[in-house]
Structure 1
Amino acid sequence: MREAQASICLQGGPMSKPNGYSRLQIRLHWIVFGLIALQYILADSIEEAWQVFAKGGTVEFSPLIAAHVFGGMAVMVLVLWRLVLRFKRGAPAAPEGEKPAQTMIAHLMHWGLYLLMILMPLSGSLAWFGGIEQAAENHLILKVALIVLIGLHVAAALYHQFVVKDNLIDRMRTARD
């Protein structure tokens, strides 16, 4: 029983594994990816505004700042939705023949990504709306951690596609509802 609970906790979902991700899971993955890319593009405007705010200045309304704030909130909501879907539907099993250590690293990386995609908007909100300096500092640290994990995630997908040649990347292109 403990093994089954550990499997559900680590892999997220029921014991029966779906053959792939659903259309909705794939769409949410790519929408979140696009929103996060936009967050990094818009980061300069909010960082500059934070510096003004931190020095006691007044920050004027800016559509770029608003886009960053609302984009962060959208990321968090969509990631929470993704997690609900993952727990309800499950996630596909590891590729056949993958070593247990690789599977564990993949699970840890995915859960790390989920955690960072939730902590980033929370820390940003605490900084922006609460004026909490420590939250702003944490947000910048999390920003670096997230970009590192995204880079590792992309590198792993490319490794599977071009070195292992198991077509793993197709999971996020073709739905298996």
Structure 2
Amino acid sequence: MTSSPVMSYSLSQRLIHWIMAALILFNLLFTEGMEEFTEAAEEGQAVTPDMIASANIHAYVGIAVLCLAVMRLILRFIQGAPAAPADEPPLAQMASKVTHATFYLLFFALPIAGIAAYYFNIEAAGSLHAGPLKLLTWVLIVLHVGAILVHQFYWKTPVAQRMIRG
């Protein structure tokens, strides 16, 4: 029995993708609450309820990303993912695989490092979370969006449609 190739992402895969994208961007853009809380705690200053609330929001969003990443990975194993367009250059296919694998690693590493820093006071995890992991996430987002634009406007492939319309 042969199964037909996956042509598009399922509705659940698309929803999780876009929810995760929104949550990740939220946490990347709105870090002030966590930074203010961390700085006050490190300097022995009074931590206000507003600081705690802001830090908790950042933490809860990160935990939500981690939970969604687990769901996303399970769905990917169960439902699969569309293959690269046949005419996509081999180097671009390899770059896509490496980028997606790194995204998946970050979906786990970033929240776990944040949890280790916030809940268990592991300073090295906080430095990793707020430094190289955050920077790598931004770099991959730029590469990801750039690749979508190349597919859409240069190669004229419907790659973006697989995550938008299915």
TM-score w.r.t. the length of structure 2 is 0.91
Of 139, 147, 155, the match for 2:138: 147
Aligned residue number for residue 34 of structure 1: 22
The runs of 4+ residues in structure 1 deviating greater than 3 Å are: none
CA distance in 2, matches of 1:29, 1:169: 12
Larger relative contact order (CA 8 Å, sep ≥ 6): 1
Unaligned runs of 5+ in 1: 1-14
> Which amino acid in structure 1 is aligned with residue 106 of structure 2?
L
The superposition leaves residues 101-143 of structure 1 with CA deviations (integer Å, 9 ceiling, x where unpaired) of 2111101100101111211111111111111110111002211
Of 85, 92, 96, the match for 1:95: 85
SS of corresponding position for 2:144:
helix
CA distance in 2, matches of 1:22, 1:43: 32
Residues 1:44 and 2:36 are matched in the alignment = no
CA distance in 2, matches of 1:101, 1:41: 32
The superposition leaves residues 75-124 of structure 1 with CA deviations (integer Å, 9 ceiling, x where unpaired) of 01101110000011111011121122211110110010111121111111
Superposed, 1:132-171 pairs within 5 Å as 132-140=122-130, 141-171=132-162
User: How many residues are matched?
Assistant: 161
Residues 1:23 and 2:11 are matched in the alignment = yes
> Which amino acid in structure 1 is aligned with residue 58 of structure 2?
H
Unaligned runs of 5+ in 2: none
Asked if 2 retains the 8 angstrom alpha-carbon contact of 1:42 and 1:65, the reply is: no
Residues 1:129 and 2:119 are matched in the alignment = yes
SS of corresponding position for 1:30:
helix
> Which amino acid in structure 2 is aligned with residue 173 of structure 1?
I
The superposition leaves residues 124-171 of structure 1 with CA deviations (integer Å, 9 ceiling, x where unpaired) of 111111111101110022111101111100110111011111121101
Asked if 2 retains the 8 angstrom alpha-carbon contact of 1:109 and 1:149, the reply is: yes
Alignment identity in percent? 37
TM-score w.r.t. the length of structure 1 is 0.86
